[in-house]
Structure 1
Amino acid sequence: MSDSPTAPPDRRRPGPVLYISLALTLAIVVWGAAAGDSLSRVGSAALDGITRGFGWAYLLVSLGFLVFLVVLACSRYGRVRLGRDDERPAFRRSTWYAMILSAVMGIGLISYGVAEPISHLAEPPHDLAAPMTPGAAVTAMQFSFFDWGLHAWGIFAVFGLAMAWSMFRRDRRGLVSALFRPLLGRRADGPLGGAIDVFAILATLFGTTTSLGLGALQINGGITALFGIPNSRSLQFAIIGVITLLFTASALTGVARGIRFLSETSMGLGGLLFLFVLVVGPTIYLADLYVQSVGRYLSELISTSLITPASGDLGFMQSWTYFMLAWWLSWAAFVGVFLARISRGRTVREFIVGVLLVPSVVFSVWFTAFGGTAIHSDLAGTTRIAAAAADDANSAFFATLQSLPLPAITSVVTIVLVVLFFVSGADANTFVLGMLTSRGTEHPPGWILALWGAVTGAAAMALLAAGGLESLQQMVIVSSAPFLLVVVGVAVSLWKDLTAEPLQHTMPTASAMRGAADRTGEIPEPARTKTLSDDATEEAAIYGVPASVPAEPKP
């Protein structure tokens, strides 16, 4: 099952990838700190060129990934486990979901949960509705679901599935370059593979610094709403410094302790805040808005996926659609490695359904509760949240809370929640960067984790100094452009790897299933299938596997 090369004596020892990545990152950090205007101009020019010439590629790739995942989930490969055939998941299902949500995109629930829907209400995408109307409300939610739903999680699922398959099914190192062994062979271990890893590290780093910058802006917005302290770069830098210390310390405790604790705590606190808004807010209106918006989103998913500047607004695409897809692509390596790390023992089908559908539903419900509440109060004329968001997007969430009961308490809870999301996401990122620069080890050295924590914080400060949110968005799109080819290569390599899997792995024998049931007390998924299909029957005869198995193996 393994095709990994002979491991070096100390797999944890960093190689050239670490030093090259650090040198390039520090060069950009110094550039942003010393000549922020210059970095901003170059980023703006690169952004314009990429989105005008190749923006369509982001749309096609993300849509293609969704089709690919559906095919895999419905195929015979869906029953294969990411690990040994009798292996069980390391984390219970609720913990697994919590870690996926909070450590991956939790900060987006606060940063964009109100800001995006209310912005689309005031300026509907592609002039599809009249501003500040009930029709604009449905369109606003539809495009919010598009940015945070299936397309985003499809990118993560492809990369995560490829990494889990490579690490746990093929026993390769936890490196992006290792995913290319089916395509590149031994060249994946040489300079070409090193270049792939450097691209992955830079895309990961700048995707995460964007989250770090957004988190600092959001916390600053909460402090302003609560205490009247104005927004300032010095306060934002102080916030980044404190959070950097927290997430670096958490990363040193490992996945099973620090990230797990933060994820479960933030999900519990977020659930309470969600229920509060759902109960005291316009509940009936929110339910109606959700049903309409989900219906529009699903019915127009293909057509929305193929809107380009030729038929739409380039400015909107750069600010929202292209930026979001580029952000998810830049996170692909980070999220993929992390998802793989916490998903060992799950089946391919379980992984796809869990990563693709559950977070998409959670994000759509959250955006409807908070964004829909803001939309309802603005349409009723009791608030001006859209105007507040136009002046400062980071004030939108807190402006919504101010329109509900107990605003002081809910604002404090929100700030705590932002910090938890902030720390858990950056914690996971630091852990992944440590893996990628420690030859793929699942236990990176502490000094490398601390180093990447400091570099991530410094990069976020440099980009904020260079131009704030606009510079963060520019860097995400620019850094993700070359990585787009890497992600497509990952999908092709995964398919080649899957088709090379011996068929007997997909249909374990009855004795193997009895052994798994004895060890776990649960019947493995293949044992629940009483009769195989005709094709599977023929394949079973070829490989000497029984064509049918009992529904409940005897002890």
Structure 2
Amino acid sequence: MGFICWGITYKIYGGIQEWASTYPLFHWGPIAWSFYIALAVAFGFMLHVRGRNKQKFSEACRPILGNRIDGALGKGIDLIAIFALIAGTATTFSLATPLLSMAISSVFGLSNTVTLTIIILILIAVIYTFTVWFGMKGVSKLATYCTYLFFALLIYFLVGGGETRYILETGFSAIGNMIQNFIGLSTSMDSLRKTSFPQNWTIYYWAYWMVWCVATPFFIGKISKGRTIRNTVLGGYGWGLAGTFTSFIILGNYGLAQQLKHGLDVSGIIGNGATYSEAILKIFDTMPLPELGLILLVITMIAFYSTTFDSITMVVSSYSYKKLDVDKEPDRRIRVIWSVIFIMFPIALIFAENSMYSLQSVSIIAAFPIGIIVVLIIASFFKDAYNYLKSHKK
């Protein structure tokens, strides 16, 4: 009985802070990055060790499916991959672009309309198309600038917000809480549907990461030339976790401090019908020089959008070729065509005015077939690596 009372007390007084800071690290943490890195190793091995000249999702399945991937089966796999990538891209930017639009309208006093959102998307398209035109060098430079901008935004909140101690202490506790409860978090299904949180969010996040498995791991694998499997795993996994953990600990815990310490009812704002973007702008209003912070946010988001778009455009452009050596890049005209295609889907979803749960469904539907293909790729990699090691022992 005492244990039950302690549990109830913990949930009342410690639950919000503990779990609100823990779940972002879980949803964007070890399991999520495992999807990326396992596939990045498989793609890197396929391209740089085996020297395959087909930069396609289906090619990674060749060790198991054999020459069948040269026919209808392979085309089907690649079509599923492209559909999943489009679904992930459209979902991401349809959810995030309203924040960018609202930030710009707040700073410059413009009306926050659909027209403004479309203009912003077109501006992003121009930037990343220009970057893609110059190939991997352009992508690399933009990614570097994006990193500097994002760290500036993190420092702005960590130092300027006056909650440095709370942010770091809560983040440290959240890491420990996630490690301690990792198995439980990973297997929680809420069978009585008391909150449906695992169904609405955890499953959605796994689906979201899986649809992005089409592009991001391929990109990591492609730029991993000259690195060992150990380098790729430790480097990609370590820096990936470090980046996501740092961003959620600083930005998320600052917002949590405003909710729990200073009376800014962020959850109430959203519960009363406000959008997530409006709630985020309320948090920015608590910072010194909020207009400057919003300008930094706008520039950083545009850089992030452009970096993401140009990397996936480079990947999916390779799908347009029957054969393409790993050291060669797709033709510039092909890249521009895909750049235009990718910007059209977020615009279409914005016009559709989909709800959050509708957009989540897009990713979940696309992720189901991708999950099967991911398992097939991992099995193919182990088979191919085994045969490679076996042949080199002789």
The answer for the alignment partner of 2:127 in structure 1 is: 246
Distance in 2 of aligned mates of 1:305 and 1:186: 37
Please state how far the C-alpha of 1:504 moved relative to its aligned partner. 8.2
Q: 1:424 aligns with which of 307, 310, 320?
A: 307
Runs of at least 5 residues in structure 1 that lack an aligned partner in the other structure = 1-127, 506-541, 544-555
Aligned length: 377
Is 1:306 paired with 2:187? yes
Query: 2:360 aligned to 473, 488, 499, which one?
Result: 473
Query: What is the TM-score normalised by the length of structure 2?
Result: 0.90
The Cα shift of 1:192 comes to 0.6
CA shift for structure 1 position 225: 3.2
Distance 1:314 1:332 in 2: 29
Stretches of 4+ aligned residues off by more than 6 angstroms? none
For 1:343, what is the secondary structure of its paired residue?
A: coil
Superimposed CA distance per residue, residues 207-246 of structure 1 (whole angstroms, 9 cap, x where no aligned partner): 1122222332121121243245453322222222221222
Q: Is the 8 A contact 1:464 1:472 kept in 2?
A: no
1-side partners of 2:264 and 2:207: how far apart?
33
Which amino acid in the other structure matches residue 129 of structure 1?
Answer: K
Q: Which residue of 1 aligns with 2:38?
A: 158
- Matches of 2:63 and 2:105, distance apart in 1: 53
Structure-2 separation of matches of 1:381 and 1:310:
35
Cα distance change on mapping 1:318 and 1:135 into 2, 3 Å = closer
Could you say which residue in structure 1 is the equivalent of 2:7? none
Mapped partners of 2:268, 2:129: distance in 1: 37
Q: In the TM superposition, what is the alpha-carbon distance from 1:205 to its structure 2 partner?
A: 1.4
Q: Percent identity?
A: 25
The yes-or-no answer on 1:413 pairing with 2:296 is yes
Partner of 1:463: 349
Matches within 5 A, 1:69-84: none
Alignment of 1:319-334 (within 5 A): 319-334=200-215
Alpha-carbon contact 1:326-1:481 (below 8 Å) kept: yes
Residue 485 (structure 1) aligned with residue 372 (structure 2): yes
CA distance in 2, matches of 1:251, 1:212: 18
Q: What is the rounded CA distance, in whole Å, between the counterparts of 1:254 and 1:389 in structure 2?
A: 41
1:331–1:489 distance in 2 versus 1, CA, 3 Å: same
CA contact (8 A) 1:177 1:194 kept: yes
1 CA distance for matches of 2:361 and 2:113?
21
Matches of residues 352-431 of structure 1 in structure 2 within 5 Å?
Answer: 352-390=233-271, 391-431=274-314
Deviation, 1:164, is 0.7
Residue-by-residue CA offset, 1:113-157 (whole Å, 9 max, x unaligned): xxxxxxxxxxxxxxx934xx5431110111111111111111111
Structure 2 CA distance for aligned equivalents of residues 221 and 178 of structure 1: 42
**Whose RCO is larger (CA < 8 A, sep 6+)?**
2
- The residue number in structure 1 matching 2:388 is 501
The secondary structure found in structure 1 opposite 2:215 is helix
- Shift, 1:188, TM fit: 1.6
Deviation (angstroms), 1:371: 1.2
Per-residue deviation, 1:314: 6.7
Gaps of 5+ in 2: 1-9
- Find the counterpart in structure 2 of residue 104 from structure 1: none
TM-score by length of structure 1 reads 0.65
Alignment of 1:263-274 (within 5 A): 263-274=143-154
Which amino acid in 2 is paired with 1:287? Answer: L
| In structure 2, C-alpha distance between the alignment counterparts of 1:424 and 1:462, rounded to whole Å | 21
Give the corresponding residue for 1:176.
57
Alpha-carbon offset, residue 489 of structure 1: 0.6
> Which protein is richer in helix relative to its size?
2
Q: Please give the per-residue CA displacement for 1:269-296, whole angstroms capped at 9, x wherever unaligned.
A: 1112212321233111112101110001
Partner of 2:11, secondary structure, is coil
For residue 285 of structure 1, what is the amino acid of its counterpart?
A: Y
**Structure 1 residues 147, 380: CA separation in 2 closer, same or farther (over 3 Å shift)?**
same
- CA RMSD in angstroms, aligned pairs only: 2.0
Secondary structure in structure 1 of the residue aligned to 2:307: helix
